């Protein structure tokens, strides 16, 4: 990450907001459904992936221009390795402590999360190490790792020869995934080499679709010029579509039209359906149009900035807390008093902010319980 002096606080705040929304969604409480996708048919996952790609484009394009492509490539891979070891740590906890707690407490929410591991532990462990088997909740970091690993080539190609062909190819891959390209490839490979891991256990997120969101964020972040101003003929219809989606979501629910497969496909989260992408594009256009005005007038949301500055630590901890809650209290299908769920959420957010504070102190090379080192006398 760039030095603190070069950080853009508004990006940290937005990423912190995405972490708050993801925590509300992933925590198995009765608040998860009403508070999920609060801005329309767009989830925090889209915002988090796009923001991560945008920041990566900013940081690593500068490194490529100043230090060369090899240095940029090495920095990408170092970050990917760090993410990979975080994923291994989360899997270790899920397969040992939380699986045991789920079985001991008879909590189907947790045992269902690692069902394939409980049925075929050796295959699951090998598959998870290879990022092929990804249980629910633990299927977000793998796509992030894959995107970070391939980004050096994408970024180098975009910087050298322009982003038009890169975005066009990425868009075609997204379009192919709308017709199930990844599942077709899985079936084709399975005819020749039997796959020990079912397709449904390879993660809910369709990588071939989500790569388009990542490449788009990478391209915008790598721009050497300021982001373009959004004219009224763009943001006015975008505002209308976003408002309709917002009202529709809160009147009907997260399923835009229950029982109608076509609408489910158009707004599908896992494959980033066409209307879902339109909804995201409209929100992005509004943010770009109103962002400078909001930045100049609104107070800085320091708690959200703090979470966003230490997003990896906070992200990993929110998954740990979610799995711990599943193992002890069960899923959203378990009826609990709303006060209990509120206490669970407050405890979760207290843990997230404590983690962010410790991470900040660690980055400053001083933990709260450590005395600052005395300056050296010359």
- Per-residue pLDDT, 376: 38
pLDDT band at 366 (very low <50, low <70, confident <90, very high): low
**Mean pLDDT of all residues in 304-310:** 95
Q: How far is CA 334 from the centre of its chain?
A: 27
Residue 371 pLDDT exceeds 90: no
CB 127 within 8 A of CB 352: no
- Per-residue pLDDT, 296: 86
Residue 280 pLDDT exceeds 50: yes
Model confidence pLDDT, tens digit, residues 164-200: 999 999 999 999 999 999 999 999 999 998 889 999 9
CB 118 within 8 A of CB 102: no
**Mean pLDDT of all residues in 230-257:** 94
Model confidence pLDDT, tens digit, residues 66-88: 999 999 999 999 999 999 999 99
User: For the residues of 85-150, what is the DSSP string, one character each?
Assistant: HHHHHHHHHIIIIIHHHHHHTT-HHHHHHTHHHHHSHHHHHHHHHTT----TTSSSHHHHHHHHHH
Distance CA 106, CA 52 (A): 37
Distance CA 299, CA 199 (A): 46
- Residue entry with tokens 């910087």: 159
Residue 50: closest CA among 229, 210, 163: 210
Residue 352 pLDDT exceeds 80: yes
Residue 248 pLDDT exceeds 70: yes
Domain ranges in the chain are: 4-363
The helix/strand/coil state of 347 is: helix
Structure tokens at 341: 């769920």
Structure tokens at 276: 């879902």
Distance CA 188, CA 194 (A): 10
pLDDT band at 344 (very low <50, low <70, confident <90, very high): very high
- Residue entry with tokens 């408002």: 243
> Which stretches within the chain are classed as H helix?
9-26, 32-35, 44-67, 69-93, 99-104, 108-113, 115-119, 121-129, 141-161, 164-178, 181-192, 207-221, 232-252, 261-266, 274-297, 302-309, 311-329, 338-363
- Per-residue pLDDT, 1: 43
Sign of the CA dihedral running 238, 244, 250, 256: negative
- Per-residue pLDDT, 373: 45
Element (H, E) at 306: helix 302-309
Residue 92: closest CA among 320, 311, 314: 320
């Amino acid at each position: 990450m760039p030095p603190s002096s070069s950080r853009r606080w508004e990006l940290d705040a937005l990423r912190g907001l995405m972490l708050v929304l993801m925590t509300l969604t992933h925590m198995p409480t009765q608040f998860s459904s009403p508070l999920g996708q609060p801005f329309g048919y767009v989830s925090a996952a889209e915002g988090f992936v796009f923001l991560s790609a945008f920041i990566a484009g900013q940081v690593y394009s500068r490194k490529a221009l100043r230090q060369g492509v090899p240095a940029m490539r090495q920095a990408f891979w170092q970050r990917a390795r760090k993410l990979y070891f975080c994923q291994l740590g989360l899997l270790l906890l899920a397969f040992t402590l939380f699986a045991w707690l789920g079985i001991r407490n008879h909590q189907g929410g947790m045992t269902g999360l690692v069902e394939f591991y409980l049925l075929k532990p050796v295959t699951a462990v090998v598959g998870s190490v290879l990022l092929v088997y990804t249980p629910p909740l633990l299927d977000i970091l793998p796509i992030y790792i894959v995107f970070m690993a391939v980004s050096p080539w994408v970024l180098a190609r975009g910087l050298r020869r322009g982003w038009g062909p890169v975005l066009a190819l990425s868009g075609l891959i997204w379009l192919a995934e709308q017709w199930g390209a990844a599942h077709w490839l899985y079936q084709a490979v399975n005819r020749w080499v039997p796959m020990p891991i079912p397709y449904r256990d390879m993660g809910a997120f369709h990588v071939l679709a989500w790569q388009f969101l990542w490449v788009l964020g990478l391209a915008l972040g790598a721009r050497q010029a300021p982001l373009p101003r959004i004219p009224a003929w763009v943001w006015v219809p975008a505002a209308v579509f976003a408002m309709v989606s917002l009202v529709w979501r809160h009147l009907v629910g997260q399923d835009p039209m229950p029982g109608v497969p076509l609408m489910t496909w158009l707004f599908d989260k896992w494959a980033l359906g066409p209307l879902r992408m339109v909804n995201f594009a409209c929100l992005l256009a509004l943010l770009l149009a109103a962002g400078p005005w909001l930045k100049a007038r609104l107070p800085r949301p320091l708690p959200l900035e703090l979470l966003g500055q230490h997003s990896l630590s906070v992200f990993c901890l929110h998954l740990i807390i979610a799995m711990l809650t599943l193992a002890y209290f069960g899923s959203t299908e378990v009826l609990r008093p709303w006060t209990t769920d509120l206490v669970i959420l407050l405890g979760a957010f207290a843990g997230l902010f404590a983690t962010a504070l410790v991470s900040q102190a660690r980055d400053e090379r001083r933990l709260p319980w450590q005395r600052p080192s005395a300056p050296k006398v010359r």
